[in-house]
Structure 1
Amino acid sequence: MRLLYLVTSATVLLALANPASATVVDPLDDFLSTYTGPLNDDVDILSGDVAFDGTSYFLTSTMNGAIGTTTGSIFVWGINRGSGAPRLTFGSPSVGAGVLFDAVVVMFPDGTLRIVTIPPAGAPTFNVIAGGTTIAGNSLSATVPLSLLDSMGLAPEDYMFNLWSRTRVNPLADGTNAEIADFLSSSTQARAVPEPATWLMMLLGFGLTGTAFRRSRRASLLKAVA
């Protein structure tokens, strides 16, 4: 019975330490037919991942080539916090009919991170973080505090995320849908990751489980010797 308890405890701890991945994989070279920019690898999305620890979102995306090859390239996470609308349906033909968002997180090849929240009425709110985007070869990542993405109806763990790449003719503003190069194959929710305090409890749990295993084994050996 004790052995069963220990095994069960260890299994639960391992499950907590390895949450299900929310990584979405995107096909190679699946540029939109409406895209008129350069078909370069750095705007071809390969995967996207979102994690959430209760206070921040961790956004990671991988492209098919080194970031920054294409002039004017940007990488946008659209976030639906509860009042998302299809905002990419302008132009003919339109794109993004099923992509709903009321906030965007924009990653720039120079390391800038821009967080924009879009209220149902009134002007958007902009937060710009110099160096907020980390670039390593063909991947981009950023940490976005929940405090900059207030809920518009959904619980923070239920926010929905979409990723797209685009090239801007005008670096200061979005142009037409013809600038959007690639969409991640599907929207995703954030996967849960433990907070630091939870990690500490898990490590303590592993330690206690290991100690209990050792004591149980020692008792078994002593009993066998006796």
Structure 2
Amino acid sequence: MNLCALEPAAATTPVSRRLLLSLVAGLLLPLQALAIPVTDPAGDFLATYAGPQNGDMDVLNADVSYNQASDAFRFSATLDGAIGATDGALYVYGLDRGQGTERFLDGDPSIGAGVVFDMVVVVRPDTTAVINDFINNQVTQLSAGTVQILNDSFISVALDADLFPSTGFDTSDYTWNLWPRQGLGNNVQISDFAPDASNVGVSQVPVPSTLALLGIAGLGLLRRRRNTAVDLGSPRRFAAA
């Protein structure tokens, strides 16, 4: 006599497929999260700031990313107004490469608790920039065109990692903060910190080969699961012993 036909329960294939897709998404999610910039509330000017509260002195979001494939950093930010509308506006990224300290605490007024750095990148509205390495006592001037200003309010600067030698941290472990200021001199010229009262780690740009391998692996698992589901979905009968 023949045994009864064996068929999988109807819900098995869809549930397994959803589980597999969730697994693949879970693998990719950490890589996507690394690219999310720091957001900063609009209008959160420091109470100690003595300059005009114009939009170009207020950070909305910012990011510093490290691309291992090109061995380069990219500094970016969106301001709440047209960059350069304020006379003397500067945009300063502070980097902690391993020997950062809270340098603003010794100023008058004392501000910036939690903001540590041992190097700065000063971005100017005229698309020039300057790097000041406090540990190695080195100043590097960067020519016009180094800075890109897009849609009036977005800053983008790509710089070789060689310009940022480590003072103790691995390159991927550097941290940063961004503050606009009106001129140089004292702390009342600083309008905002992004993020507030802390540093944040540099974003990691995934190596293209890593993304490709994850994508191929996910598609392969999905295809294998589909083939298995098709096989199990066909009635199977067994001859009597």
TM-score > 0.5, shorter chain as reference? yes
Selected match of 1:37 from 40, 48, 51: 51
Q: Is the 8 A contact 1:30 1:182 kept in 2?
A: yes
1:40 to partner: Cα distance: 0.7
Correspondence list, 1:12-161, <5 A: 12-20=26-34, 23-54=37-68, 55-89=71-105, 91-119=107-135, 123-137=137-151, 138-161=153-176
Aligned to 1:171: none
Selected match of 1:208 from 220, 226, 240: 220
- Normalization by structure 2: what TM-score? 0.76
1:6 to partner: Cα distance: 4.2
Name stretches of at least 5 consecutive residues in structure 1 with no aligned partner: 169-173
Structure 1 stretch displaced more, 133-142 or 38-47: 133-142
Supply the distance in 1 between the matched residues of 2:22 and 2:48 (Cα, whole angstroms): 53
Supply the distance in 1 between the matched residues of 2:236 and 2:89 (Cα, whole angstroms): 72
Supply the distance in 2 between the matched residues of 1:27 and 1:16 (Cα, whole angstroms): 25
| CA deviation vs aligned residue, 1:69-89 (integer Å, no higher than 9, x gap) | 112211111011111123334
Selected match of 2:209 from 174, 197, 201: 197
When residues 38 and 153 of structure 1 are mapped into structure 2, their CA distance, relative to the original with a 3 A threshold, is: same
1:7 to partner: Cα distance: 4.3
Supply the distance in 1 between the matched residues of 2:154 and 2:212 (Cα, whole angstroms): 29
- Structure with larger Rg: 2
Percentage of pairs with the same residue: 33
Supply the distance in 2 between the matched residues of 1:211 and 1:114 (Cα, whole angstroms): 52
Name stretches of at least 5 consecutive residues in structure 2 with no aligned partner: 1-11
1:161 to partner: Cα distance: 0.6
1:105 to partner: Cα distance: 1.7
Q: Is the 8 A contact 2:35 2:205 kept in 1?
A: no
Supply the distance in 1 between the matched residues of 2:89 and 2:33 (Cα, whole angstroms): 32
Q: What is the count of residue pairs matched by the alignment?
A: 218
User: SS at the partner of 2:28?
Assistant: helix
Aligned to 2:4: none
Read off the aligned partner of 2:65 and give its amino acid letter.
A
Supply the distance in 1 between the matched residues of 2:178 and 2:100 (Cα, whole angstroms): 14
Aligned to 1:177: 187
